[in-house]
Chain A
């Protein structure tokens, strides 16, 4: 500790002296502080390797990644070493300590950048400051692989001036492979309910609620809650979205978008929503709905889920994950009895509606890594980026080293042994291999990509790997439904280029925006009234509610959404 303090003091005084001497070259300072960084970018600058066969000249570039991690040289990791052997390039990676905007702001003010930069949420500032160089020509000349991976998204990546300034992380290559565990919406039901009913195939809305009603009826002395719903604050959509999913649409927010015409219609007042509320009203009248759903906050909601008294609910996996994990821990303590855990079901109104609970692939175009104006050798860097985007190197980066981090079976499927999985849970080991540095924040095949041989690019999405985390009881239950992972219970997402419509930003002060601000308030008030009211008042309250919604600028909103959805889809399709 003492020596460390001394060192820190030394570095700080050094930095201070440098600062006083003059606003010197930043990279030079860093190099002075590290004895082994003899190769600066300058050394490589003089000569670029033209022949791939010849051993490439070594070069070290700097990479600032504005997320938290331990700083390192990539060639000190096993994967980085292999990549250095291929390309001769090493990166000195620095990560964010402290405040993002301060750090990026300082870079912009001094106009001194690392060679490549991943500014995370501050990317708009960096772009505004003109710190990234355009990559179009470089990609044309040196980046055949970059082109292969990113070309379908070029339209979305281009800034207003037509230039591409950075490479995002979400370009899907090959068939889209959704997450094998359900992190999106589903109707969840307690395992014990399915077990007692003998694992029936549950597909429709009525089947689902009847299943719960039957179970609650047989166990009426246990004070069970049949169904509950999350309404707290902005999470209210967990109560307004279900009719949309039940009708076979994905989470496009407030609208249902027609697959062919791309007409966007609100569903807040359609028959689906009416049917949904009618069912909740019926459940409430029967004492099966948790009345407190409309007053509980998120924490109380999660607490109730972990209590084991709630038989069913609708929500998004990511939103209840905390509660599901707690239940899983309980299961392990109880010697593997997972009766109180939940099973996700893709419920629809009618048996022949295709469910669309799982998100289609979507492209995030406001995060990425770019080459800065301070970079000494952009060509070399773009070549390195290009070399990352081969199937072999993506396998290396995501899966690690064959025989050490993953195995291949005789059918060519990639998998990990239990030992390998456990070992990779240790972040220090993950960094030592290099997966901890390379699996994200580089030009890459996006989450959910698939290799031509059918293996998932992300090990987490490979069913063989996902299954390793299931308990024997879980595997048995899934087997009863003839599937290996939860995702197989659900239909594959159809391609919806505009997805998700909820991310479309509306013009400030426009009627459409006013609609989105006022609609939840009307629903908040009336949903409670409709559901908790006496069944004979249902129609009166429902009509009142529809009138209130119709007072809002619905037509403006639908028109704007239709236009925006079409615009977004056209941009992606490249028209």
Chain B
């Protein structure tokens, strides 16, 4: 086998030096040589298989009318009934719209604000001030959503909430607005809350990427007469581009994961049509009604979409000659 391949000049895909000498024999040889590394990775492989692949068996539940007390053999099989119920439900389509909208808002705002703040921090000269800003902007990240939601509700409250007070003081409005009681404001409120909560935390990775940029480049640019903005646009931004692209690809894969807590905690009757997302739908119609099959079906749907998005983003990136995940 190996010989024929070599004779025909077919070399299995591989990179660099390894590509030239490959095949089973070589693989085994390398395996023995790197046995220590291989042995060390075995537990993690097992972990991966045990926790990420074995549970996929549970996907069978989506095609059953699952009853927890019954054994696998006794379950009733219902085919695609759960999926049909899901896709024919008006509510589901609305929920999907909300999920995508909130996700895109968070996605765009998350990248823009975090990169902007990271650049601003990077340009700061006074270390003490930089530290203070960083600490303050990280802080909200460590507050649980339960507490954060209460803070947001208080700030937006119609009975003396600071937002209404300021707007009324400035004369923009004449009576307090029920910010959380109007569906159309919800996505904006959620986007702003996410930024407030996570912007500091999200800068960390960009700041780290910026430290890897060679200072000599800045010096050279400065000597060539580049101004501060030119340095940002021509050195800093291209310097962190690989990180940004990898993060975009990864985040696209999670576009249907808008989280559960903020929507659940800030959601209420009047804004329900805008705040209910997939997770809440699954909780309401799957878990709360004991319909586990529906929950699993929705989970499968999410996974499939995620994989498709991840692969397309990766493919697109590859075609455009950019960094890619795999």
Residues in chain A within 8 A of chain B (CB atoms): 231-232, 236, 291-292, 294-297, 299-300, 508-509, 513-514, 517-518, 521, 523-525, 527-529, 532
Kindly list 13 other residue pairs between chains A and B, CB separation below 8 angstroms, not including A236-B269, A508-B290, A524-B270: A231-B268, A292-B159, A294-B178, A294-B181, A295-B270, A297-B153, A300-B157, A509-B291, A521-B272, A521-B284, A524-B272, A525-B272, A529-B270
Given A292-B158, A528-B181, are A509 and B270 neighbors across the interface (CB < 8 Å)? no
Q: How far is the CA of A232 from the CA of B264 in the complex (A)?
A: 11
CB-based contact B272/A295 at 8 Å: no
Nearest-neighbour CB distance to chain B for A374, whole angstroms, equals: 26
Of all chain A residues, the one with the shortest Cβ separation from B183 is A525
**A517: which B residues are within 8 A, CB to CB?**
284-285, 288-289
Q: Which of B246-272 contact A (CB under 8 A)?
A: 268-270, 272
Chain B, range 149-204, C-beta contacts under 8 Å to A: 150, 153, 157-159, 178, 180-181
> B323 an interface residue at 8 Å Cβ cutoff?
no
- A294-B150 in contact given A508-B290, A528-B181, A532-B181 (Cβ < 8 Å): no
Q: Does B302 contact A (CB under 8 A)?
A: no
- In the bound complex, how far is the Cα of B154 from the Cα of A299, in angstroms? 11
Query: Chain A contacts of B150 at CB under 8 A?
Result: 297, 299
State in angstroms the CA–CA spacing of A369 and B288 once bound together: 30
Given contacts A295-B178, A509-B289, contact A232 B268 (CB under 8 A): yes
Contact A524 B153, beta carbon cutoff 8 Å: no
Q: Could you tell me the distance between the alpha carbons of A532 and B176 in the complex, rounded to whole angstroms?
A: 14
Question: Which B-chain residue is minimally distant from A128 (CB atoms)?
Answer: B69
Pairwise interchain contact B273-A525, C-beta atoms closer than 8 A: yes
Q: Which residues of B contact A (CB under 8 A)?
A: 65, 67, 91, 150, 153, 157-159, 178, 180-181, 268-270, 272-273, 284-285, 288-291
Chain B neighbourhood of A525, CB < 8 A: 269-270, 272-273
Tell whether A295 pairs with B289 under 8 Å between CB atoms, given A509-B65, A517-B284, A532-B181: no
In whole Å, how far is A491's beta carbon from the nearest beta carbon of chain B? 32
What's the nearest-Cβ distance from chain B to residue A269, in Å?
17
Instruction: Return 7 A-B CB contacts under 8 Å, by A number.
Output: A294-B269, A294-B270, A508-B67, A517-B285, A517-B289, A518-B91, A527-B269
Q: Which residues of A contact B91 (CB under 8 A)?
A: 518, 521
What is the minimal beta-carbon distance from B287 to any residue of chain A, in angstroms? 11
A518 to B178, CA, bound (A): 25
**What are the residues of chain A within 8 A of B268 when measuring CB–CB?**
231-232, 294-295, 524
Check A295 against B181 for contact (C-beta < 8 Å): yes
Complex Cα distance A291/B182, Å?
12
**What is the CB-to-nearest-CB distance from A515 to chain B, in angstroms, rounded to a whole number?**
11
| A509–B67 alpha-carbon span in the complex (Å) | 11
Does the CB pair B269–A292 fall under 8 Å? no
CA distance A297 to B273 in the complex (A): 18
Instruction: Report chain B residues within 8 Å CB of A524.
Output: 268-270, 272
- Taking a contact as CB atoms under 8 Å apart, the answer to whether B158 and A513 are in contact is no
A528 touches B157 (CB 8 A): no
Q: In the bound complex, how far is the Cα of B178 from the Cα of A231, in angstroms?
A: 15
Q: Is the CB of A291 within 8 A of B289?
A: no
Given contacts A236-B269, A528-B181, A292 and B157 within 8 Å (CB-CB): yes
Measured CA separation A300–B149 after assembly (Å): 12
The 7 closest A-B pairs by CB, nearest first: A524-B269, A528-B270, A295-B180, A295-B181, A508-B290, A528-B269, A295-B268
Among A299, A509, A513, A524, the one with the most B-chain Cβ atoms within 10 Å of its Cβ is A509
Shortest CB-to-CB span from A292 to chain B, Å, is 5
Residues in B whose Cβ lies below 8 Å from that of A508: 67, 289-291
Which of A292, A513, A528, A532 has a CB less than 8 Å from the CB of B289?
A513
Q: Which residues of A contact B285 (CB under 8 A)?
A: 517
Chain A nearest CB, measured from B285 CB (Å):
6
- Cα–Cα distance between A79 and B14 once the two chains are bound (Å): 84
Identify the interface centre among A232, A291, A299: most chain B CB within 10 Å of its CB. Answer: A291
CA distance A294 to B158 in the complex (A): 11
Taking CB as reference atom, which chain A residue is nearest B157? A292
Task: Report the bound CA distance from A157 to B153 in whole Å.
Answer: 48
CB pair A300 B153 closer than 8 Å: yes
Give Cα A353–Cα B193 distance, bound, in whole angstroms: 50
Bound Cα distance A527, B272 (Å): 12
Find chain A residues with CB under 8 A from B291 CB.
Answer: 508-509
CA distance A30 to B243 in the complex (A): 64
Q: By the criterion CB–CB under 8 Å, are B272 and A291 in contact?
A: no
**Whole-angstrom distance between the Cβ of A534 and the nearest chain B Cβ:** 14
* CA A291 to CA B289, docked complex, whole Å: 31
Distance from B318 Cβ to chain A, minimum over Cβ atoms (Å)? 44
Q: In the complex, which residues of chain A have a beta carbon less than 8 angstroms from the beta carbon of B157?
A: 292, 300
> What distance in Å separates the Cβ of A259 from its nearest Cβ neighbour in chain B?
31
A291–B269 touching, CB < 8 Å: no
Q: What's the least CB distance linking B187 to chain A, in Å?
A: 16
Chain B residues with CB under 8 A of A513: 289
Q: Which of these, A231, A299, A514, contacts B269 with CB under 8 Å?
A: A231
Interface centre among B65, B159, B273, B291 (most CB of A within 10 A): B159
Q: Please determine whether A291 and B290 come into contact, CB atoms closer than 8 angstroms.
A: no
Distance, CA A300 to CA B157, complexed state (A): 10
Residues of the B chain whose Cβ atoms lie less than 8 Å from the Cβ of A532: 178, 181, 270
- Bound-state Cα–Cα, A529 to B159, Å: 20
Q: How far is the CA of A296 from the CA of B157 in the complex (A)?
A: 9
Distance to closest chain B CB from A511 (angstroms)? 12
Smallest distance from the beta carbon of A78 to chain B beta carbons, Å? 46
A521: chain B residues within 8 A (beta carbon): 91, 272, 284
How far is it, in angstroms, between the C-alpha of A292 and the C-alpha of B150 when the chains are bound?
Answer: 14
Which residue of B has the minimal Cβ distance to A304? B159
Distance of A266 Cα from B119 Cα, bound (Å): 60
With both chains docked as a complex, state the minimum distance between the C-beta of B168 and any C-beta of chain A, in angstroms. 15
B28, chain A: closest CB distance, angstroms: 47
Q: Which of the listed residues B153, B268, B290 has the most CB atoms from chain A within 10 Å of its own CB?
A: B268
Closest chain-B Cβ to A53's Cβ sits at a distance in Å of 51
Contact A291 B181 (CB under 8 A): yes
Distance of A296 Cα from B178 Cα, bound (Å): 10
Bound complex: CA A551 to CA B157 (Å): 34
Nearest-CB residue, chain B, relative to A523? B269
Q: Chain B residues with Cβ under 8 A from A529's Cβ?
A: 270
Pick from B65, B178, B273: contact of A292, CB below 8 A: B178
Chain A's closest residue to B176 (CB) is A291
Q: A521 CA to B289 CA in the complex, in Å?
A: 14
A508 to B273, CA, bound (A): 25
A524 to B268, CA, bound (A): 8
Report the separation of the CA atoms of residues A527 and B270 in the bound assembly, to the nearest whole angstrom.
Answer: 8
Report whether A295 and B153 are in contact in the complex, using a CB–CB cutoff of 8 Å.
Answer: yes
Cα of A47 to Cα of B81 in the assembled complex, Å: 64
- Closest Cβ of chain B: how far from A311's Cβ, in Å? 15
Contacts of B269 in A (CB 8 A): 231, 236, 294, 523-525, 527-528
When distances are taken between beta carbons in the complex, the residues of chain A under 8 Å from B273 are 525
Give complex CA distance A297, B152 in Å. 12
Inside 8 A of A509's CB, which chain B residues have their CB?
65, 289, 291
Q: Which residues of A contact B290 (CB under 8 A)?
A: 508
Nearest residue, chain A, Cβ from B90? A551
Query: What is the CA–CA distance of A531 and B291 in the complex, to the nearest angstrom?
Result: 34
Shortest A490–chain B CB gap in Å is: 30
* B contact residues around A518 at 8 Å (CB): 91
Greatest chain B CB density within 10 A among A291, A295, A297, A524 is at A295
Specify which chain B residues have a CB less than 8 angstroms from the CB of A300 in the assembled complex.
153, 157
Once bound together, how far apart are the Cα atoms of A514 and B157, in whole Å? 34
Q: How far is the CA of A532 from the CA of B181 in the complex (A)?
A: 10
Question: Which A residues are in CB contact (< 8 Å) with B289?
Answer: 508-509, 513-514, 517
Set of chain A residues within 8 Å of B153, measured between Cβ atoms? 295-297, 300
Query: Which residues on the B side are within 8 Å of A523 (C-beta)?
Result: 269
- Within 8 Å CB of B181, what residues of A? 291-292, 294-295, 528, 532
- A529 to B290, alpha carbons, bound, how many Å? 31
Please give me the residue from chain B that is nearest to A309 by CB atom: B159
Instruction: Determine which of A231, A291, A297, A299 lies in contact with B158 in the assembled complex, contact meaning CB atoms within 8 Å.
Output: A291
